[in-house]
Structures are given as structure tokens and as C-alpha cells.
Chains A and B, each alone.
Chain A
């Protein structure tokens, strides 16, 4: 089992408001642990942002035995102009193979982001 720390960044996304930008996809036979995510408003006025975890993992042997869906880590959270939002600080989010982190913004190309995670392979 190897642990690898990684960072994924983007300068200005999404390309179109309402069409989430795919920030990171967990590779096969890999498990990811999100250590932190910082979203920065680079607009001159406040924007709203959301972070989605798109999980395709299904039929695991748990109580409800149902497939995962898409969850919002934050939704329509406001980020004032000149400010950043640090999410997942403290708490951790585990990502399984094929899971995807996406971000969206109320204004196109006005979010800059930094994702820190550790991958276990």
C-alpha cells in the first residue's frame, strides 16, 4: 500500500455557469482522501459556488445496499469578492475509484481552486 500526496489546481473555471467543471477523478484501484479544498473568488463581486461528489460505487455490502449518487459538499455558498472558501478542512472525504469532484459557480470563469488529497494505491 503506497500513499501519495497530490495537489490539483485550476485557475479560472467553470467555463460556463451551470455546467460543473470536473476537478478530479479517482483512478482505478485507488482510494483518495481529500485533505482540503480552497475555492477563491476572482470576480469583482460575490459569487456562489457548489462542490459535487459524483460517486458511481454501487451494491456494497452495507445495510441499505444501494448505489451511491451525486452529493453536494456545498451548494450555493456565497463567496464575497476578494475572499476564499476553505472547505473540507478538518473533516475528510474519502473517494473511491471512479469518484469525481466537480465545482460550479454562478459566474463563468470566476472560481480558482486548490485541491489537496492523498491517494492510496
Chain B
């Protein structure tokens, strides 16, 4: 037997020595086929074992939306806190996605809540009360103009507006008081007619609330020689009003009084003093019907 042409040798086989389709898998060593031996784009899915492709075999950012089946990505594949605004479509979030009570004021833009968004039971101002205002009715107010809306009873409004004219007091002299000649003497109004806010004590009025006050006083002087009765109003111990009566003939009483309005701080106080110059002691009368009184109330 002889060859004509090339004779088979023990030299390494070349591709030309191999017939088409004769190299079977048994002739290929394990792990012998490298990337370089695989043509581009020839490995089809039929050559991949099910569940064989792991993340190490995927290039970063290689999986695009086209490689994901519809509705395949569920919440277990989101990292906590990873969904940002850019990944939420406009108008996609509706109320079924809010937990009850989860929307706080930080998530409502200024000026966004209109009257139309309030339930009828909430204040809307759309319906007249249809009845007289009573003390228990509530009004809305901006507390201290600080932007905090609070409610207050109508009773408080009355107090604030002076509707009750409080604080208020009335006191009268219950017994005669001797006034020495030509000596300014503090008048004792020993009986409180009313003093609901306890603003009258020690024969002086201390309002405890700053404001404008109206007060009146009247003192009845006893009869005697011709003399000049004087009533003096003192604010914090200083004369502010000086009132004199008519020089009286003998055997007649005279009332000297004044009504006045002043502005007081909460701890200011007013006292009434009296003087006469009959030449000796003289009484100013006290009792239930003699008109030696001291009254006052808050105007505003």
C-alpha cells in the first residue's frame, strides 16, 4: 500500500487533516474550549443549562428593560429607599397608596387647601349661625398673630371687648370718719358693695389688668362752720384730681364728687383723700344711704 501525494505523518494535525464534522465532544478535553474558540453570537439559549447564568456572568448595566418580562419586577427587588421621584410617573400615585394618617403638613404646599376640600362639618363660613351668639359658641383666632389658629369662647370675647366691664368694684363708707382740720386724710370706704375680681382692698383700687378705667367718688361732708370741702384723687400716691365744693353755710351737708377716666397699668392704684378747713374736726358721713362711695370699672 502506497500513498500518492501526501502521506499521513505523526506531525500535528492541521485543520486540513480533519474532515468536516468528525470532531465529536469525546475528542475535546474538559474545559478545552475557551472564549477564543467560540465565534461571535453563536451560543444560543439551547446551550445554556436552566438556571445556569448567575450574576457574575452578567456585565454591569447589561440587563435592560427589554430583557425583563412584563410585570416581572416586584418589590423584593427594590432596595429600601431606592425609588426616587424620577421613577414615578406623573399622576401615578393615588390615595390608595397612602397609609391612613400618613400625610402630614410638611407634605402639603402652602395655600393648597381650599374651602372646597373641607367637609361640611368643618368650618366653612358658608352658613349663618341663625341664632344669637351665646357664651359657649367658639370663634377662630390667630393666637398672638403668630399664625397658629385657635378657638375661643364667645365669653372670652366679651371679657376682651370689655363687655363685662371687668374688673369692677363698688365700695362705700359704712361709718362716719373724722377728718382733722386742714389735713388731707385717706377716706375709708369700709364696705364692699361688690368686688368680683378682688381688685379693691385697703381702701384702694388696684385693677390687676392694664386698661382704661372709669371711676366715680362722692363724699358727704357734715355741717358746721363755713369751710371748703376738698376731695383729692391720687394715682400711686400722687394727686391727679383736686375737687373742691362750695363753701357751705352752717346746718347743711354737702357732697363733693368727681367722675374721671384714667389709664392704669395692672399694678397702679387709686385712693381717695378728703380735707376740710372748718377750724376743727369734721366728720364725713358713712352709712347705707349717705352717698360716700367709690366705684370703678374697666372701659377697655
Q: For the complex, what is the distance from the CA of A47 to the CA of B22, rounded to whole Å? A: 9
Interface string of A51-92 (1 = CB under 8 A from B): 000000000000000000000001001111111111111000
In whole angstroms, what is the CA distance A94 to B6 when docked? Answer: 29
Interface residue B98 (Cβ < 8 Å from any Cβ of A): no
In-complex Cβ contact of B22 among A79, A84, A87, A106 (8 A): A106
Could you say which residues of chain A place their CB within 8 Å of the CB of B1?
74, 77, 85-89
Total A residues in contact with B, Cβ cutoff 8 Å:
25
Instruction: Judge whether A45 is part of the interface by a CB distance below 8 angstroms.
Output: yes
Interface centre among A38, A45, A86, A89 (most CB of B within 10 A): A45
List residues of chain B with CB within 8 A of the CB of A110. 19
A45 touches B4 (CB 8 A): no
B19 contacts A85, C-beta separation under 8 Å: no
Binds A, one of B10-18, B247-255, B285-293: B10-18
Within residues 73 to 121 of chain A, which ones have a CB less than 8 A from any CB in chain B? 74, 77-89, 106-107, 110
- Interface residue A44 (Cβ < 8 Å from any Cβ of B): yes
B1-34 vs A, CB cutoff 8 Å, 1 = contact: the mask equals 1111111100001011111111000000000000
Which residues of A (23-67) have their CB < 8 Å from a CB of B? 38, 40, 43-48
- CB < 8 Å neighbour of A43 from B6, B7, B13, B19: B19
Q: Which secondary structure characterizes the binding site on chain B?
A: loop
B7 lies within 8 A of A83 (CB):
yes
A87 to B1, CA, bound (A): 4
How near does chain A come to B19, taking the closest CB pair, in angstroms? Answer: 5
The CA-CA distance from A38 to B22 in the complex, in Å, is: 24
Q: B19 touching A107 by the CB < 8 A rule?
A: yes
Among residues of B, the one whose C-beta sits closest to the C-beta of A40 is: B4
Residues from chain A with a CB closer than 8 A to the CB of B6 are 80-83
Bound together, the chains give a CA A79 to CA B13 distance in angstroms of 13
Residue on B nearest A105 in the bound complex, by CB: B19
- Distance in angstroms between the alpha carbons of A87 and B19 in the assembled complex: 21
Tell me, rounded to whole Å, the shortest Cβ–Cβ distance linking B14 to chain A.
9
Q: How close is A40's CB to chain B, nearest CB, in angstroms?
A: 8
Contact: B18 with A107, CB < 8 Å? Answer: no
Q: A45-B20, A89-B2 are in contact. List 14 more A-B contacts (CB 8 A).
A: A38-B4, A43-B20, A46-B8, A46-B13, A46-B18, A74-B1, A81-B16, A83-B5, A83-B7, A84-B5, A85-B4, A86-B1, A86-B2, A89-B1
